Chain A
Amino acid sequence: MLKRIGKALAREGMRTAVLFLLVTLAMFVLLNMAPGDPVALYVNVQSLSPQEVEAVRHELGLDRSLPVRYGSWLGRMVQGDLGTSLRSGRPVTVELWRTGWRTLLLAGSAMALTLLFAAVTAYLAAMGRHPVWASVLTAFGYVLSGLPVFWLGYLAIYLATTRFHVLPLMMGEGAASSGWAFFFVPVVVLGLGNGTVSEVTRHLRTHLQGVLREDYIRTARAKGARLWRHLYKDGFVMPLSSLLANKIPYVLGGAIVVEQVFNWPGMGRLTWQAASDRDYPTLLGVTLLAALIVRAAHIVKEAVQVAVNPQLAD
């Protein structure tokens, strides 16, 4: 089985490598389509003579042809050099390390919460034993998916600061260490408010209903066996792993908004700041890291699914 997983991972890794090339190419093309002379970002073009501007252009390597520039850009990127942030002057990789793990923590926990909520709701709805609870949770999921996540964040902050007193009134980078609530509240807001809850629930429910109609489930029921033992692989592990891979981009996007609402010093706030300052080296780094996270989720999904059903390796 390990061999099959390895085979699937190798295939997925190849695909990731090709996609990485395409993503960087797309970003490079976007970068070159952007209006404005890149030289103007480094020097004051007006105060220099045309010869001096040309000299700077040559020094920066901007007078070379596009494929050559893409090659050298990609070469530096592979070595981990994503350039320097125009805003802070620090290397982009350092900025990403500083903020990335926080966002990964936030988005990962939020994703887990979304899937947990959806799994419980879908299970109740598909089994049909607690119709009232299932309806209430399904309706709740629809409302959560329509609510803008920033308003949900305001409500959570308002309740946590003035009603329950679990959060300090002033939040900022310094408050990041002030206890569980600072972590817990944003995770709940992002997990429930990222706008995918109703869709994930619906998908899981339809899938579960299909699995419950299978012959082997009927046999298990007839034997009086524990249903869960027969249900969890095809009913939960398979769809949940695909949903994890498919929905992680939405959660990462939602993290930008939630981090902004909560002043959470992560990659989302870095992205917001970089977009405000038009700090494009940072934005390119963020895009690349986000794409790598999404591909990592796909690789995890592939490994899990092949472990459950080795036939998928071929």
Chain B
Amino acid sequence: MRFLELTADPTAWQRLRSWPLHRTVATVYGTGMAALVVSVYLASVFRVLPQDPDAMDLGAVNALPSAAHLLGTDFVGRDLLARIMVGTAAFFLPGLLSVSASLLFGALFGVLVGFWPERFGTAVGLLLQLLESLPKLVLILLVVALFRPDIYLILLVVGVTNIPAAAELLRARIAALRRKSYIEAAVALGLPPSRIILKHVLWLHGRGLVLIQATIGMGEAILIETSLSYLGFGVQEPTPSWGNMVALGKDYFFRGELWISTVPALAILLTVLGFHLLGDALLERLEAAGA
């Protein structure tokens, strides 16, 4: 730890340089990927696209990458790059909804059980175990069948099923924090619980965990959205989703034209990989700092 020898606080750059190489690479790649997803989403909202995603270029069907179509075209000649870009809209806002729901209720339950284990432990614990007992996709399909296949509703359910993971992480953290003397001091000083919880626990010591959960949750939201759209219950053609794009290329894939399905699959891989790596790197950093 080179920066510990310095008298001044280390700058962000110095801290970054004291990390192991793999963690730096993972953080930089993951942050870059997240930034790329945000900018691509904004570009697709403002229709800054290389081509019209719905325009069919019948002269270039199932084409490989070329100057006119940087990532090639699908079976009716639609530009794959433009469809990949518009496909971010399928999971971006729903994914944020899912993450917000899991974090909000995860924090609520985590705080309740972490601070008052005697009063809330059993009831909340049972509720969380209930959510954990139901496999996500099965529950989602049940909701889809009973209500309507709406991607926001589906990802809200995903968010709800992620509450136990978020709550458990925060609970463990808070249970450890409660024994720290400064929290005891804050209680003894008569600070209102809301201030202790919001400022000293959640903001000063929980934001790292919250960020990690958000990162992992976003990666999972993408996998679930694409899986459901692949199965035909999520985003429906002709609106592009990376999942239904893979499904559309199926027949050509088995004939040896691997490209059409592989482009959206690679988009899923690179994005989800980015979120996983970023989440794990942050978690590792937190564990190293806590140890």
Contact = CB atoms under 8 A, between A and B. Distances in A.
Interface of A: 15, 18-19, 22-23, 26-27, 30-31, 33-35, 142-143, 145-151, 154, 157-158, 161-162, 195, 198-199, 202, 206, 246, 249-250, 252-254, 256-257, 260, 271-272, 274-276, 278-280, 283-284, 286-287, 290-291, 294-295
B133 A23 contact: yes
A135 to B, nearest CB: 8
B175 interface: no
B41 to A, nearest CB: 19
B276 A154 contact: no
Q: What does DSSP make chain B's interface, helix, strand, loop or mixed? A: helix
Given A154-B253, A158-B253, A275-B141, A148 B243 contact: yes
Interface stretch (B46-54, B102-110, B176-184, B261-269): B261-269
B246 A284 contact: no
Given A276-B232, A280-B146, A148 B135 contact: no
A82 B135 CA distance: 19
B144 interface: yes
Given A161-B254, A249-B134, A151 B246 contact: yes
Contacts of A206: 287
B134 A142 contact: no
Interface in B134-169: 134-139, 141-147
A202 B271 CA distance: 19
5 A-B pairs closest in CB distance: A253-B137, A151-B265, A146-B273, A34-B146, A249-B135
B257 to A, nearest CB: 11
Interface string B122-142: 000011011011111111011
28 contacts: A15-B129, A19-B126, A22-B127, A143-B269, A145-B273, A149-B227, A150-B227, A150-B246, A150-B247, A151-B265, A158-B253, A158-B254, A158-B256, A161-B254, A195-B220, A202-B280, A249-B135, A252-B137, A253-B135, A257-B137, A260-B231, A275-B141, A275-B233, A279-B145, A283-B138, A284-B142, A287-B142, A294-B135
Interface of B: 126-127, 129-130, 132-139, 141-147, 219-220, 223, 226-227, 230-233, 242-243, 246-247, 250, 253-254, 256, 258, 261-262, 265, 268-273, 276-277, 280, 287
B136 to A, nearest CB: 5
Contacts of A158: 253-254, 256, 258
Contact of B227 (A148, A274, A275, A286): A148
A270 B126 CA distance: 29
